[in-house]
Chains A and B, each alone.
Chain A
Amino acid sequence: MQKIMVCIKRVVDYNVRVRVKPDGSGVMLDGVKMSVNPFDEIALEEALRIKERVGNIEVVAVSVGVADTQQQLRTALAMGADRAVLVQTDLAVEPLTAAHTFLALARKENPDLIFLGKQAIDDDANQTGQMLAALWERPQATFASKVGIDGAKAAVTREVDAGLETIEVDLPAVVTVDLRLNEPRYVKLPDIMKAKKKPLDVTTFDALGVSAGQYLKTVKTEPPAQRQRGIMVKDVAELVDVLKKKGLI
C-alpha cells in the first residue's frame, strides 16, 4: 500500500438551516458557512489512521469545485493529508461528472484505495463513489463501518438495512464510508500553520481531459410541504384517549 486518495466535497455546513430562494431558482448560499462534507471527514480520518498504522503511505486529498474549495482542502491538509489537488470549475458538478473527474485523477495518481463519504449532505445523492468504481472497473465497498487491510485485499464491513455485511475486495478499490467508521480528529492550530506549506495543486477539466456533462436539468426548487403543528395533551390518559379516537390503538 503506497497511496490513498480521499475525495472531499465543499458543502453547506451541517448546522446551517438551508432556505429556498423565493423565486424557486435554488437555495440561499450567500454568506452561508461552508465546510468539508462530514462523511468526507470520516473518509479522510480513515485514510490517516491506515497511514499511521501501516506507515509510508501518501494521503492525497482531491476535490472538484469552485476556487474557494481550497479552504476545505487546506482543512484536509491540516487534518494530515500530505498534499491536495483541486480541479477548479464554476460549473455545478453532478455526481457523474465528479466520478469522471476522480477517475482521471485516479489514473494519474494510481492509488491503492480511494475513500469517499457515502453521500454529501447537500444533494444527498449517494452516487459518486459507486460511479467512480464502475468507471474505474474496480470493486466498491459502500457504507463502510470497518475497514481492514490485508496485503492486496481489504475486508470491509458495510452498514446495510438489515444489519452488517462483510465483503472482501481486491485492491485497488473504492470505499465509501458511513458514520460509525471513526470519529474524525480535531484540527489543532499548529497543524493549520503547517498545512499552509503543504502542496495544493490546482488543475482543470481541460488539463485532465474530462468533459463536464450536464445531465439533469433542475427546473425549480421549492420548500417542502410543512406539517401542521397538532395538539398538546396534558397526560398519558388523554394521549391514549386521543389515539383511540383516531383509531390508532
Chain B
Amino acid sequence: MNKVLIIGEHDGKNLNPAAAKCVTCAMAVPDAEITLAVFGKDTAAVAAQAAALAGVKTVLRVDRPENEHPLAAILAPQAVALAADYSHVFGPSTSFGKDLMPRVAALLGVAQVSDLMAVEASHRFRRPIYAGNAIVTVEADAARTLVATVRVASFEAAPNGGSAAIESKSLSVALPSHTRYVGAKMGGTDRPDLQTASRVVSGGRALASADNFKILFSLADKMGAAVGASRAAVDAGYAPNEMQVGQTGKIISPEMYIAFGISGAIQHLTGIKDARTIVAINKDAEAPIFEVADVGLVADLFQVVPEFERLLGG
C-alpha cells in the first residue's frame, strides 16, 4: 500500500482549494491511503474542511503557536517528523508549497518532483520543463520517500462527501528562531481567486496603463471573473504581481480565459494551456495567442471591452 501525506495550505480560516486538487492527484497513486496534515495555531475549522474531502482517510492537526504563519523553516522539520510514516509527501505547487516542500525533501535527503502533472505509477510521474515546451517522465527510487509539488492546474478538485477522522498530533520537534514573520500586504479583493476561478479576464501590455486595467475589473465583476495579467503588463507596472499568469506567475485552468491585448509569449501560454476555452482579442492578427485560442477576434481591445460588457446585458 502507498501512504500519501498531503500538506494542506490554509489561511487560518479556509483550506486552500489547491488541497482538494492534491487529493485527486494522490488518488491517482495506486492503492493509496491519503492523510492530509494542517499546521497552524488553531486548525479546527480548516481540519473540518479537509475531513470533508472525499478520498481523505485521516486529517492530522498540528497546532502550536509557532505555526500561526506558514514559515518553511518552522514547518519543514515538523513535516519531516510526520513523513516517517508515509511513502509519498505531496504539497501544492503554490508559493506555499514551492517554499516548503524542497526544504522538506532536503531534510529527508531525497529529490523532489516539482509540478507533478500526471501519475503514471507509484514512483513514475510526468512534469513540464522549459516553460512547458517539453514534458518529462521521471522515475524515483521506490525505497525512498517521494516528495512532490502538485501542479494544481492539472487536477480537478476532489469533491466533498468524505468524513475523515481528525487526529491532533503533538510533535516534539525543536523549532528554529532564526526566521520570523513580520507582516503581509495581501491583494485583498472580493473577486474570485485567480488560481481557482472558473472565468478569468486577463490583460497584457496593450492595456497601456494601470488606470486602463479598470475596464477589465469592471468587465470581470460583471462576469464574476478573476483578473489576470501577462508578465509584460506586470513588469510595466500596470498590474500587481499576484495577478501574473505564466511560467513565473500562476498556472491556471479556468473554464474560460479571455486574453485582451496579450500577444501570447510561450512563457504566458504555459500558464493558460489547461484552460478549457481560450478567447483572444488582439489588434495584431499575427499574435501567437491566436494559435492556441479557441475563439479569436482581431480588434482594438478598447473598443471590444465596453461593447462586450454591454452585450452581456444585465
Q: Which residue in B73, B234, B277 is a CB contact (below 8 Å) of A139?
A: B73
In Å, the complex CA distance between A20 and B137 comes to 13
**Interface: A227 (CB within 8 A):** yes
Residues of B with C-beta under 8 A to A137: 176
Residues of B with C-beta under 8 A to A170: 178-179
Which residue of chain A has the shortest Cβ distance to B18 in the bound complex? A161
Residues of B with C-beta under 8 A to A159: 95, 241-242
Residues of A with C-beta under 8 A to B98: 126, 142-143
Q: Are A180 and B241 in contact (CB under 8 A)?
A: yes
Q: Are A222 and B134 in contact (CB under 8 A)?
A: yes
A sample of 8 cross-chain residue pairs with beta-carbon separation below 8 angstroms, ordered by A number, consists of: A131-B103, A161-B250, A167-B179, A168-B180, A216-B139, A217-B139, A224-B132, A227-B278
In whole Å, how far is B224's beta carbon from the nearest beta carbon of chain A? 10
Q: Are B133 and A224 in contact (CB under 8 A)?
A: yes
In Å, the complex CA distance between A59 and B109 comes to 29
* Contact code string B153-165 (vs A, CB < 8 Å = 1, else 0): 0000000000000
Q: Which residue in B102, B113, B136, B297 is a CB contact (below 8 Å) of A134?
A: B102
In whole Å, how far is A131's beta carbon from the nearest beta carbon of chain B? 4
Q: Are A96 and B111 in contact (CB under 8 A)?
A: yes
Q: Are A155 and B139 in contact (CB under 8 A)?
A: no
**Interface: A236 (CB within 8 A):** yes
Q: Are B111 and A179 in contact (CB under 8 A)?
A: no
**Interface: A189 (CB within 8 A):** no
In Å, the complex CA distance between A27 and B131 comes to 13
* Contact code string A207-249 (vs B, CB < 8 Å = 1, else 0): 0000001011111111110010111111111011011001011
In Å, the complex CA distance between A173 and B179 comes to 9
**Interface: B96 (CB within 8 A):** yes
Asked, given contacts A229-B292, A232-B290, whether A216 binds B113 with beta carbons under 8 Å apart, the answer is yes
Q: Are A124 and B128 in contact (CB under 8 A)?
A: yes
Q: Are B111 and A216 in contact (CB under 8 A)?
A: yes
Residues of B with C-beta under 8 A to A220: 136-137
**Interface: B266 (CB within 8 A):** yes
In Å, the complex CA distance between A129 and B293 comes to 36
**Interface: B44 (CB within 8 A):** no
In Å, the complex CA distance between A137 and B104 comes to 12
Asked, given contacts A124-B128, A134-B107, A167-B181, whether A143 binds B99 with beta carbons under 8 Å apart, the answer is yes
* Contact code string B124-142 (vs A, CB < 8 Å = 1, else 0): 1000111111111111110
In Å, the complex CA distance between A143 and B130 comes to 19
In Å, the complex CA distance between A139 and B250 comes to 25
Q: Are A142 and B106 in contact (CB under 8 A)?
A: no
**Interface: A163 (CB within 8 A):** yes
In whole Å, how far is A34's beta carbon from the nearest beta carbon of chain B? 13
Q: Are A17 and B308 in contact (CB under 8 A)?
A: no
Asked, given contacts A221-B135, A236-B307, whether A155 binds B182 with beta carbons under 8 Å apart, the answer is yes
Residues of A with C-beta under 8 A to B231: 179
Q: Which residue in A135, A161, A163, A216 is a CB contact (below 8 Å) of B195?
A: A161
Asked, given contacts A12-B130, A233-B296, whether A17 binds B266 with beta carbons under 8 Å apart, the answer is yes
Q: Tally the A-B contacts, defined by beta carbons under 8 Å.
A: 248
* Contact code string A176-209 (vs B, CB < 8 Å = 1, else 0): 0011100000000000000000000000000000
Residues of A with C-beta under 8 A to B72: 130, 140, 142
**Interface: B65 (CB within 8 A):** no
* Contact code string B225-253 (vs A, CB < 8 Å = 1, else 0): 00000010011000011100001101000
Asked, given contacts A220-B136, A237-B311, whether A246 binds B179 with beta carbons under 8 Å apart, the answer is no
Q: Which residue in A18, A139, A161, A219 is a CB contact (below 8 Å) of B124?
A: A219
Q: Are B136 and A240 in contact (CB under 8 A)?
A: no
In Å, the complex CA distance between A227 and B291 comes to 8
Q: Are B247 and A121 in contact (CB under 8 A)?
A: yes
**Interface: B255 (CB within 8 A):** yes
Residues of B with C-beta under 8 A to A12: 130
Q: Are B96 and A236 in contact (CB under 8 A)?
A: no
Residues of B with C-beta under 8 A to A179: 231, 235, 241, 248
Asked, given contacts A18-B130, A216-B138, A236-B308, whether A95 binds B185 with beta carbons under 8 Å apart, the answer is no
Q: Are B241 and A248 in contact (CB under 8 A)?
A: no
Q: Are B114 and A124 in contact (CB under 8 A)?
A: yes
In whole Å, how far is B282's beta carbon from the nearest beta carbon of chain A? 11
Asked, given contacts A215-B141, A220-B136, whether A166 binds B178 with beta carbons under 8 Å apart, the answer is no
Q: Are A249 and B312 in contact (CB under 8 A)?
A: yes
Which residue of chain B has the shortest Cβ distance to A138 in the bound complex? B178
Q: Which residue in A119, A135, A167, A242 is a CB contact (below 8 Å) of B180?
A: A167
B279-296 at interface with A (beta carbon < 8 Å): 279, 281, 290-296
Residues of B with C-beta under 8 A to A128: 102
Asked, given contacts A96-B111, A169-B179, whether A143 binds B140 with beta carbons under 8 Å apart, the answer is no
In Å, the complex CA distance between A20 and B135 comes to 9
A93-152 at interface with B (beta carbon < 8 Å): 94-96, 99, 119, 121-135, 137-143, 145
**Interface: A164 (CB within 8 A):** yes
Q: Are A230 and B182 in contact (CB under 8 A)?
A: no
Q: Are B99 and A140 in contact (CB under 8 A)?
A: yes
Residues of B with C-beta under 8 A to A119: 248
Q: Are B110 and A96 in contact (CB under 8 A)?
A: yes
Asked, given contacts A96-B111, A121-B247, A219-B138, whether A239 binds B295 with beta carbons under 8 Å apart, the answer is yes
